[in-house]
Each structure stands twice: as C-alpha cells, then as structure tokens.
Amino acid sequence: MKRRDIYLLLAVVGALIPYFRFGPWLLEHGLDMRLFFHQVQANRVSEFFAADVVVSAAVVLVFLVYERGRLRGLWWVPILALLIFGVSVSLPVLLYLREGHASQPR
C-alpha cells in the first residue's frame, strides 16, 4: 500500500472514530455549545485533551502555511477538513495532498 493511500485511509478513520463517539451526543443534545464547552471543561483531563487538540490544530495550520505552495490550489481542503472534522482528518488530508504533489514537477 502506498503512503498516499495510507494517509487517505487515516483520514477516513479519523472521521469515523471520533464521530462514533460524538454522534450520539449530538443527536441527544443538538448543537448546545454551552453544554459542549461545559463538558469539555468538566475536569483537568478533558481540558488537557481539548488543549492538545487546539495546539495540534495550530500546528496543522502553521504547517499548511509553509506547504501552501506545494499544494497549489488545494491548500483550502485541509482547512475545511479541520473546521468540519478536526485534526484527525485535517492532518492526514494535508499529508495526502502533499504526498500527491511531491512527485509532480512544480
């Protein structure tokens, strides 16, 4: 299996696994952002994971700034993936796009 295919597979897994956990909560509570942030800040462990995700998202965005030229017109796709799904999809999508363009002449 090629590295690019593995990145695509990881993007799919990165979408499915978190949403299997978040989907039932979303169906039960809807888009109750107040409750969402209350539960994210429920204890230090959940705050740790939330902070880790925020920092990881910032790293993906900084990495994207430096890789933007290599991705040509598709630089916005990882940003959209970050906003819709999160880091678990955005990073593999970025690496997938980067891998695809790495072998092509600029």
**Domain range enclosing 53:** 3-102
Query: How many domains in the chain?
Result: 1
CA-CA distance, 102 to 106, in Å (whole number)? 9
Do the Cβ atoms of 98 and 6 come closer than 8 Å?
A: no
For residue 62, the model assigns a pLDDT of 97
Q: What is the pLDDT along the chain (106 residues), one digit of tens a residue?
A: 899 999 999 999 999 999 999 999 999 999 999 999 999 999 999 999 999 999 999 999 999 999 998 888 899 999 999 999 999 999 999 999 998 865 565 4
CA-CA distance, 45 to 106, in Å (whole number)? 45
For residue 96, the model assigns a pLDDT of 95
**What is the value of pTM for the model shown?**
0.87
By C-alpha distance, which of 91, 73, 71, 72 is closest to 81?
A: 91
